[in-house]
Amino acid sequence: MSTFLTRRALPRRTFLRGLGASLSLPLLDAMIPAATAATSATNPAAKPTRRLGYVFMPMGCDQSRWTPTAPNGTLSSLSPILESLAPHRDHLTVLSGMELRNAYPGSHATSNSSFLSAAKAKHTESNDYYLGTTADQLAAQQIGQATQLPSLELAMDQLQTTGQCDNGYACVYQNNLSWSSPTTPLPYEAHPRVVFERLFGDGGSVAERRAALRRRASLLDWVTADIASLKRRLGPADQAKVSEYLDTVREVERRIQKAEADVAKNQLPPDLDRPLGVPAAYTDHAKLMLDLQVLAFQGDITRVITFQLARETSNRTYAAETGVADPHHPLSHHGNDPEKIARMAKINAFHVSLFSYYLDRLKNTPDGDGTLLDHTMLLYGSGIGNPNIHDHTNLPTIVAGGRAFGIKGNRHLTYKEPVPLANLHLTLLDKAGVQIDTFADSTGKVTDLFRPLTV
């Protein structure tokens, strides 16, 4: 076993290595040379790392329970669906009036495909599909090249359907959020074990990494010597950071192992939407996937992540989480029935509560002179506004984090005329250091994110 511990100051890309394992580290004080000021332009480790995260909520929402009451005001009073975000209001901007014009004619397929591309999907049921390079992949091409994984594509549903899925559109549009080119959709991963291996496995095929993991009780068991050697070179504050980080890695690994053991012990019936060996409860599965994202950001394994909370047209039920037994997709076509709308809103609020959990984990994870939330720009939203009519106007949209890059927070921005969601993508890409003049049907940037609020 060996580490890259030969310099007076640790390089940012420092790993603990063992058989089948490669464990990256969070940003430590020891990675910033004492002779270099923390603000020095010549010291990459001292600069806040710019990260982008995208969380997709399927099938729109109940606008009446989503929209904050004060247009162009502060978030002093949050709407029912957004209530769980109250602890993070200073890090939030809710935007009303975003539009995906290229998603029309309205469909679930184009809601998913245009969310990150803002592009018009070629209407086809075959494999001659064509879309556009998505915002996350433009970021991966520029800010992702310095990391182990240029980007990470995650989801909650295992099901990858083929053929025609929605109104004559190939299923690929509904399956994939991320496209590295107009003809190259990127598959997502829904299994926590596979994600864990991608983050901390030390090369080799998937089969080889799984075999290595099975041969040991824990990934950390193979890097104990390196951990001890590293800690002897660190000050007390850095030792505490490393210990907390490793404790989190071990706890996430333990939860993955427990889920796999529970499945084996209970022989649970197969669920087409859920991969084998994941927690049976949706909440447990989602939180595990979110915790893996926090670790990926914290260890600088990747700087770009997309996460699909559920597929469009998902018939998943959330009875245990919300008390609503109705499948999500049929409920979203509520026919303006007040009772159905109220039940759909409970599902919307539940999904938002998971985003709140994510923000909480990022906010409580130190990163340089701030937190991961300060140094990460997150977009939460859907490609559909009113799901009952497949409307792609007035999309539920939240920007969170990014305080280190000038995003103000604690505001609700309302636009009288529809604003292309591409404008928001262009804005976040620009702040992440991705230099492009236009994106899809963009008409400018959303500079209101950085201006003091005037009412």
- State the CATH number of the domain containing residue 364: 3.40.720
Domain span including residue 250: 1-47+191-277
Of 232, 262, 277, at which residue does a domain stop? Answer: 277
Residue at 285 is within a domain? no
Q: Same domain, yes or no, for 228 and 257?
A: yes
**Structural domain count, the chain:** 2
pLDDT for 49 beyond 50? yes
Q: Same domain, yes or no, for 170 and 98?
A: yes
Strands, sheet with 411-420, edge to edge from the N-terminal-most edge strand: 152-155, 304-308, 51-56, 376-381, 397-401, 92-99, 411-420
Q: Same domain, yes or no, for 415 and 321?
A: yes
Average pLDDT over residues 51-72: 95
Q: Same domain, yes or no, for 314 and 441?
A: yes
Residue at 296 is within a domain? no
pLDDT for 161 beyond 90? no
Residue at 288 is within a domain? no
Q: Same domain, yes or no, for 200 and 185?
A: no
Residue at 104 is within a domain? yes
Average pLDDT over residues 72-91: 95
Would you state the pLDDT for residue 207?
Answer: 62
Would you state the pLDDT for residue 119?
Answer: 98
Would you state the pLDDT for residue 221?
Answer: 72
Q: Same domain, yes or no, for 85 and 225?
A: no
For 26-39, what is each residue's pLDDT tens digit? 888 888 764 344 44
Q: Same domain, yes or no, for 27 and 75?
A: no
Residue at 261 is within a domain? yes
Between 20 and 128, where is the model more confident?
A: 128
Between 10 and 46, where is the model more confident?
A: 10
Q: Same domain, yes or no, for 315 and 329?
A: yes
User: What is the rounded CA–CA span in Å between residue 325 and residue 330?
Assistant: 11
For 332-387, what is each residue's pLDDT tens digit? 999 999 999 999 999 999 999 999 999 999 999 999 999 999 999 999 999 999 99
Residue at 226 is within a domain? yes
Residue at 114 is within a domain? yes
User: What is the rounded CA–CA span in Å between residue 311 and residue 314?
Assistant: 5
Q: Same domain, yes or no, for 263 and 402?
A: no
Between 10 and 269, where is the model more confident?
A: 10
Confidence of residue 213 (pLDDT cuts 50, 70, 90): low
For 178-211, what is each residue's pLDDT tens digit? 999 999 999 999 999 889 888 987 655 556 555 6
Residue at 109 is within a domain? yes
Give the mean pLDDT of the chain. Answer: 87
Q: Same domain, yes or no, for 116 and 238?
A: no
Q: Same domain, yes or no, for 7 and 98?
A: no
Q: Same domain, yes or no, for 186 and 218?
A: no
